[in-house]
Amino acid sequence: MYLFFKRLTDIIISLAVIVLLLPFFIIISFLILINSGLPIFYLQERVGKNWKVFKIIKFRTMINNADNIGPGVSSSDDKRITAIGRILRKFKIDELPQFVNVLLGEMSIIGPRPELSKFVNRYKSEYSKILKVKPGISDYASIKFRNEALILQPVNDRETFYLNDILPEKIKLYNKYIEEMNFFVDIRILFSTFKAIL
């Protein structure tokens, strides 16, 4: 019953967000276009429920081909981030297009954040449990590591640090959510996310 209401809530909220924020999305798209050209959106393969790979949607905050000229994680001083991208990232606005992923059923509003295949493959046994549920836009780990880019800033080998130090902590929080998941936990995480952003 919980999963039915969770999906129903996901559909209602994601539809409302997309419709209500459509003018805002158009403005952001225009700003990205004049600042760094096309494409407006950034599509990246992530691993979802039952190991199904899907393309997560974000507003593009980096230069074109950023994936080919740097690590899979970024810090706040990453030279690949565009001027408008810094603003979008600061307020997590770049994540808003993921409500389309939610509407398509690839993600939920609340759930463990989806990772890149190369990171998931590093912790396959741990992810065998995590990937039994839909990934989400926000969860305990998203709140705790709200300023992940700042944590990575002084680190030289950022991808290794992420794999060895940050991701294991995130995995613990993913499992915490899976063990506790219910409607009230989702509501609490949702309000905590708004609080963290504001």
Q: What is the pLDDT of residue 64?
A: 87
Domain count of the fold of the chain: 1
pLDDT band at 66, cuts 50/70/90? confident
Q: What is the rounded CA–CA span in Å between residue 71 and residue 54?
A: 20
Q: What is the pLDDT of residue 11?
A: 98
pLDDT tens for each residue of 24-63: 999 999 999 999 999 999 999 999 999 999 999 999 999 9
Q: What is the pLDDT of residue 115?
A: 97
For residues 101 and 54, the answer to whether their CB atoms sit within 8 Å is yes
For the cut 80, the answer to whether the pLDDT of residue 198 exceeds it is: no
The per-residue DSSP string of the chain comes to -HHHHHHHHHHHHHHHHHHHTHHHHHHHHHHHHHHH-S-SEEEEEEE-GGG-EEEEEEE--B-TTGGGGS-SS--TT-TTB-HHHHHHHHTTGGGTTHHHHHHTTS-EEESPPPB-HHHHHHTHHHHHHHTTS--EEE-HHHHHTTTHHHHHTT-SSHHHHIIIIIHHHHHHHHHHHHHH-SHHHHHHHHHHHHHHH-
pLDDT band at 75, cuts 50/70/90? confident
Name the residue among 96, 76, 79, 90 with its Cα closest to residue 27.
96
- Specify whether the backbone of 162 is left (phi greater than 0), alpha (psi in -120 to 50) or beta: alpha
Query: What mean pLDDT comes out for the span 4-23?
Result: 97
Q: What is the pTM of this model?
A: 0.93
State the number of CA atoms in the 13 A half-sphere of 15 facing the CB: 7
pLDDT band at 19, cuts 50/70/90? very high
Q: What is the pLDDT of residue 73?
A: 87
Q: What is the pLDDT of residue 76?
A: 80
Give the structural domain span for 99. 2-197
For residues 112 and 130, the answer to whether their CB atoms sit within 8 Å is yes
pLDDT tens for each residue of 151-190: 999 998 999 999 999 999 999 999 999 999 999 999 999 9
pLDDT band at 9, cuts 50/70/90? very high
| Average model confidence (pLDDT) across the chain | 95
Which is more confident, 149 or 18?
18
Which is more confident, 116 or 74?
116
- Specify whether the backbone of 71 is left (phi greater than 0), alpha (psi in -120 to 50) or beta: beta
**How much of the chain, in percent, has pLDDT values that exceed 90?**
85
Residue where the block lists tokens 């999305």: 25
pLDDT band at 8, cuts 50/70/90? very high
Q: What is the rounded CA–CA span in Å between residue 46 and residue 48?
A: 6
Report the length, in residues, of the chain.
198
Torsion angle in degrees (nearest 10) through CA of 140, 146, 148, 151? -110
Query: What mean pLDDT comes out for the span 66-89?
Result: 88
